[in-house]
Copies of this chain bind each other. A is one copy, B any other.
Amino acid sequence: MQTPKQIAIIGSGLVGSLLAIYLKRHGHYITVFDRRPDIRTVNFSGRSINLAMSNRGWKSLKVVGIEEEVKKIAIPLDKRAMHLIDTPMYFQKYGKEGEAIWSISRGILNRKMIDFAEEAGVQFRFNEKVWDVNLPETKVFTGETEKSEWKEYKYDLIFGCDGAFSRVRHKMQRRSRFDYSQDFIDVGYKELTIPPNEDGTHKLDKNSFHIWPRGKFMLIAMPNLDGSFTCTLFLPFEGDVSFEKITTKKEAKDFFKTYFPNVRKEIENLTQDFFKNPTSAMVTMKCYPWTYWNKVALVGDSAHAIVPFYGQGMNAGFEDIYELNELILNHGDNWDTIFSMYQEKRKPNADAIAELSYRNFVEMSSKTAYPIFLLQKKIEKWFSKRHPDKWVPVYSRVTFSDRPYEEALKIGDNQEKIMEEIMKTPNIEEIWNSKEVENKILELLKN
């Protein structure tokens, strides 16, 4: 049985609102601050920025009973649709039968989560920017501007769910012995849209994650409920083929025509979006500690922002909440223990998914061009199918299981080492699916 606490959550995004629902269930009084207006009152197309919800996300929603409601606004994708140049489009199944990732609009999901939180009794203070936090006294200061008069609020606990550029973390960062890093990659992204057919159906296969890999850049597309697709173009900021090189409508059209011939019909839309929508940067942000005594904790992107190439950003943030909740169930009122175990347990996993996401970026932007890499992937797939108990691909471990990310990284490293050996086999191109190779992998797995 816990003593009800006065708790402030900074940030009403996905992580902030889910955490509010969880903590409300424990009987605490929750106020969520957000500098932005209520997203439910803001007009947005409902298309921009799509997320891939996978196992860890669903599991975290299930605990508070909102999984089924959220599934209604999500579309299952059970495969990749590969759009290579000069090759007919083909599919790659993600996992076993019934395994899928789910396409969902960040905006629509966020609205729904705030509804749930409000129904549960959470108080929201929108349009109220937190300018400062007093960590030892758990006070929150809000106001019109940095220099205007501020309102002061006092709480028992404060949670920073205010994203990669967190104000709460920023305050912690000024203390001694706070480790911090932010690393941007040289590739930016831009959101583009493929509208629905006139009858409201999808122009591409609806239950696929569409990819147009092009070496140093790529286009992806995820379906929306309204029949449209949200596309993301990942492209270097500078260089031969880059955002800096595309400055006119003609250059944009030529770019799409040259590299993405099968979206030719959408070119007007894509070009228009290209100049309408901003180009955004991507960052890996790491820090430690995540907590201040038994008073303040960072959750989600404020503690660990990652590049999006594994589709795990939101899932990792939701899993933070799931784990935090497990600790609350076991340690009740002992926030000292809860916070210290929370950061100790989650930090290595956050580092692992950051590493895996970055590697996926490197893999997608360079390695996929090499036949030797593609052969290796083919062998892994073949072996995994013959011995599903002995070889679960890292992608499945990350996406369709709830085992720690750290474990997935470690096992993945070992698989990589084994495959390095295998690829040295003479004549591997010919005998890749032979008994000899199979036995060699089985042998190496014993170490």
Interface residues of chain A, those whose CB is within 8 Å of chain B, are 146-147, 165, 173-174, 176-184, 237, 281
Pair A180/B182 contact, Cβ less than 8 Å: yes
- A186 to B: closest C-beta gap in Å: 9
Cβ-defined partner of A180 (8 Å) among B146, B176, B178, B180: B180
Contacts of A281 in B (CB 8 A): 176-177
Q: How far is the CA of A147 from the CA of B145 in the complex (A)?
A: 10
A181→B180 contact, CB < 8 A: yes
B contact residues around A146 at 8 Å (CB): 146-147
Name A178's contact: one of B176, B178, B184 (CB within 8 Å).
Answer: B184
* Contacting residues, chain B, for A237 (C-beta < 8 A): 177
A282 → B minimal CB distance (Å): 9
CA distance A178 to B184 in the complex (A): 7
- Subset of 21 A-B contacts with CB under 8 Å: A146-B146, A146-B147, A147-B147, A165-B174, A173-B182, A176-B184, A176-B281, A177-B184, A177-B237, A177-B281, A178-B182, A178-B184, A179-B182, A179-B183, A179-B184, A180-B180, A180-B181, A180-B182, A181-B181, A181-B182, A181-B183
Known: A177-B281, A179-B182, A180-B180. 11 other contacts (CB 8 A): A146-B147, A165-B174, A173-B182, A176-B184, A176-B281, A177-B237, A178-B182, A179-B183, A180-B181, A180-B182, A181-B182
A238 to chain B, nearest CB (A): 11
* Nearest neighbor of A150 in chain B, beta-carbon distance: B147
Which 5 pairs show the lowest CB-CB distances between chains A and B? A181-B181, A177-B184, A176-B281, A180-B182, A177-B281
Nearest chain B residue, comparing its CB with the CB of A237: B177
CB proximity of A136 to chain B, nearest CB, Å: 18
Among A146, A165, A180, residue most surrounded by chain B Cβ atoms (within 10 Å): A180
| In the bound complex, CA of A181 to CA of B147 (Å) | 29
A258 CB to closest chain B CB, in angstroms? 27
> For residue A178, which residues in chain B have a CB less than 8 angstroms away from its CB?
182, 184
Residues of B within 8 A of A180 (CB): 180-182
Instruction: State A394–B24 Cα separation when bound (angstroms).
Output: 60
State A184–B177 Cα separation when bound (angstroms).
5
With A and B bound together, what is the CA distance between A101 and B178 in angstroms? 33
A165: B residues at CB distance < 8 A:
174
The docked-state distance in angstroms from the alpha carbon of A177 to that of B189 is: 13
Q: Which residues of B contact A174 (CB under 8 A)?
A: 165
Q: In the complex, A173→B182 CA distance in Å? A: 9
Least CB distance from A179 to B in Å reads: 5
Q: Which residue of B lies closest to A184 (CB)?
A: B177
Q: How far is the CA of A285 from the CA of B237 in the complex (A)?
A: 26
**Which residue of the partner chain B has the closest CB to A175?**
B281
Cβ contacts under 8 Å, A176 to chain B: 184, 281
Tell me, in angstroms, the Cα distance from A182 to B286 when the chains sit together: 10
- A281 to chain B: closest residue by CB: B176
Nearest-Cβ distance from residue A176 to partner chain B, whole angstroms: 5
Bound-state CA distance A237–B176 (Å) is 12
Cβ of A174 to closest chain B Cβ, rounded Å: 8
A165 to B174 CA separation, bound complex (whole angstroms): 8
Inter-chain contacts of A182 with B (CB < 8 A) = 173, 178-181
Residues in B neighbouring A147, C-beta threshold 8 A: 146-147
With a CB–CB cut-off of 8 A, which chain B residues contact A179?
182-184
Please, which residue of chain B has its CB at the minimum distance from the CB of A287? B182
Cβ–Cβ < 8 Å partners of A181 in chain B: 180-183
Nearest Cβ distance between residue A280 and chain B, in whole angstroms?
8
Give complex CA distance A403, B320 in Å.
49
A347 to chain B, nearest CB (A): 14
With A and B bound together, what is the CA distance between A245 and B281 in angstroms?
Answer: 46
- Chain B's closest residue to A173 (CB) is B182
CB distance from A211 to the nearest CB of B (A): 25
**Complex Cα distance A184/B289, Å?**
11
